[in-house]
Structure 1
Amino acid sequence: MIDLDGLHVGGYSLGGFASCLDIPTFKVAVDIGICLDRVISRDLILITHAHVDHLGAIAQHVAQRGLRRMEPATYLVPPGIEDQVEELLRAWRGLDGGALAANVVSLAPGERFQVRQDLAIRPFRTRHRVVSQGYFFERTTKRLAEEFQGLPPDEIRDLRLAGTEVSVPVRSIDLAVTGDTRLDAVLENPEVAGAERLVLECTFFDDRIDVEEARHRGHVHIDEVAEAAAHFSGRALLLNHVSPRHARADARRIMAEKLPPELLERTRLMVGAED
């Protein structure tokens, strides 16, 4: 597991091969390009886009939950692909002969999916070669309303007992996950770049694929991250979706060479499995 300033992220991420991020704190996974045993129990899967390395194991996830007599999971998908995902599952039902029950739900930027009272999922727009989106994990807490601050505790208690609402909701983005995207979609949205914790795809690390080609393919290059370092103001940054061209040790070395020290200190790297 990778520690992002108190929030742990695991799973598997290798560009073009498979992506599945597990976030145990929220009991949610992002993408299902590989069906990890630890993710079978996740009732909610967020799909960033429909490339095979991000969606290809959905039928296996559905089937494994059925075999274990679990309730159907919910798969949140970008608007416009829900019918095709349903068609994919219908084809597998015909081939498999099983129920393969699943809830496929379209969720668009600007909409909110309530996971629990204090946690909501909110999509944001990304730019890839197909329809895509990232996801905010938005936490809601309460704090004492400004007009009651400074009052004695007993007086605040009495107000509460009298039915006065003395607290106001405070929303914060605990985590943002981009999925595959060009970096400009991130930099144009201050909520993404400034999230408390950000999981950002960074596929290419050397000149075999330069910045221009990375952008053409709808991906991020480490040189772009270094250039935009000042935009990443959160507590932790996780780079994932590294191309298989780069060995883990080489990617870490290049990251250390390219990123400014202040950002490097807050940055982690995910290459392959992180359990």
Structure 2
Amino acid sequence: MERGTKDSDSGSDKTKGAMNIEGYPVKGLSIAGHETCVMFPTLKLAFDIGRFPQQAISHDFLCISHAHMDHIGGLPMYVATRGLFSMKPPTIIVPKCIKKDVEQLFEVHRRMDQSELNHNLIGLDVGEEFYLRKDLKVRAFQTYHAIPSQITYTITAPEIAFTGDTTSDFMIDQNNTDVLRSRILVMESTFLDNSVSVEDARVYGHTHLSEIISHAERFENKAILLIHFSARYRLEEIQQAVSALPLPLAGRVFALTEGF
């Protein structure tokens, strides 16, 4: 399959209907304020859990970017459902600053549900790393959102970076050079047009598409997957905005539009 195509003929249910970007099947749903979960089925890795889309159950590793409900709301159900089907406890990476709160969240659900909710919870601070398995390592990078947030990304070269929600400040952070060189960058572009100004986008802790265009020369990624579009946009508007991107972005930027 070529970059950005639909892998609809895959023989595996886990990758059926996925986008194929730089050799990786990618599935998910990301609508600002509603739900974000981006899945890499062949890596068994998901970024954020949204309301827990059923397809996420097969992913052994989950990286949470921050604690807004549209990114973390389905976490207990994700763990509980894996337990229901006798699957191995998942490994969950969260920002260290919310780790104690997430532990308490699970304790509350254990008391109410009388279930074990087995999982391996890891808290990472900016710059810290953790091996999910021998060939898959996660490192945390700084992002800039309305609440504590950080990038988590997998390393093989590195291969994949995921920003979660952040202002454009992450693009100019000198400590984030690897993120802008990753093979695939998954990043938000919540606002696309003049209906919301760049200044307002920053107040909300988000990135405007015009800022991505302004910093286009900084992106050395082979492919960029834009996510987290505002629900105010129609599918046609998202597709038009992406197709109109100038060089050097044109041809290597894709949009996750499931649900629009």
Match of 1:246 in 2: 233
Does residue 193 of structure 2 align to residue 206 of structure 1?
Answer: yes
Identity, % of aligned positions: 37
Structure 2 unmatched runs, 5+: 1-17
Shift of 1:66: 1.3
Query: Equivalent of 2:252, from 266, 271, 274?
Result: 266
Q: Which whole-Å CA distance do the structure 2 matches of 1:202 and 1:252 have between them?
A: 13
Point out the structure with max Rg over C-alpha: 1
Structure 1: give runs of 5+ residues left out of the alignment: 140-171
Q: Does 1:191 align with 2:182?
A: no
Q: Could you give the per-residue CA deviations for residues 148-194 of structure 1, whole angstroms, max 9, x where no partner exists? A: xxxxxxxxxxxxxxxxxxxxxxxx11111111011111332221122
What is the alpha-carbon distance in structure 1 between the residues aligned to residue 193 and residue 58 of structure 2? 38
Aligned match of 2:19: 2
Distance in structure 2 (CA, Å) of the matches to 1:217 and 1:248: 22
Q: How far off is 1:109 after superposition?
A: 2.3
RMSD: 1.5
8 Å CA contact retained: 1:10, 1:23? yes
**Residue 55 of structure 2 corresponds to residue 70 of structure 1:** no
What pairs up with 1:42-121 in 2 under 5 angstroms?
42-121=59-138
- For 1:77, the aligned partner's letter is V
Aligned counterpart, 1:11: 28
User: Which stretch of structure 1 is more off in the superposition, 235-244 or 247-256?
Assistant: 247-256
- What secondary structure is seen at the aligned counterpart in 2 of 1:64? helix
- Counterpart of 2:11 in structure 1 is none
Mapped partners of 2:43, 2:170: distance in 1? 25
One-letter amino acid of the counterpart of residue 110, structure 2: R
User: 49-58 or 103-112, which moves further after superposition?
Assistant: 103-112
**Cα deviations across residues 97-154 of structure 1 (Å, max 9, x unaligned)?**
2222222210122221112222211111101011111122111xxxxxxxxxxxxxxx
User: Do the aligned residues in 1 keep the contact of 2:181 with 2:219 (CA within 8 Å)?
Assistant: yes
The aligned amino acid for 1:264 is A
Q: Distance in 2 between matches of 1:80 and 1:101?
A: 21
TM-score, structure 2 normalization: 0.88
Structure 1 position 255, deviation (Å): 2.6
Q: Is the 8 A contact 2:31 2:227 kept in 1?
A: yes
User: 8 Å contact 1:47–1:78 — kept in the other structure?
Assistant: yes
Tell me, yes or no, if the aligned pair for 1:21 and 1:31 is still in contact at 8 Å.
yes
Partner of 1:128: 145
Residue identity matched to 1:59: P
- Equivalent position SS for 1:39: helix
SS in 1 for 2:164: coil
Of the three residues 142, 158, 175, the one matched with 2:160 is 175
Paired AA for residue 84 in structure 1: D
Structure 1 residue ranges (4+ consecutive) displaced by more than 6 angstroms after TM superposition: none
- Residues 63-101 of structure 1, C-alpha deviation per residue, up to 9 Å, x if partnerless? 101110122212110011111111111111222222222
Distance in 1, Cα, partners of 2:126 & 2:75 = 22
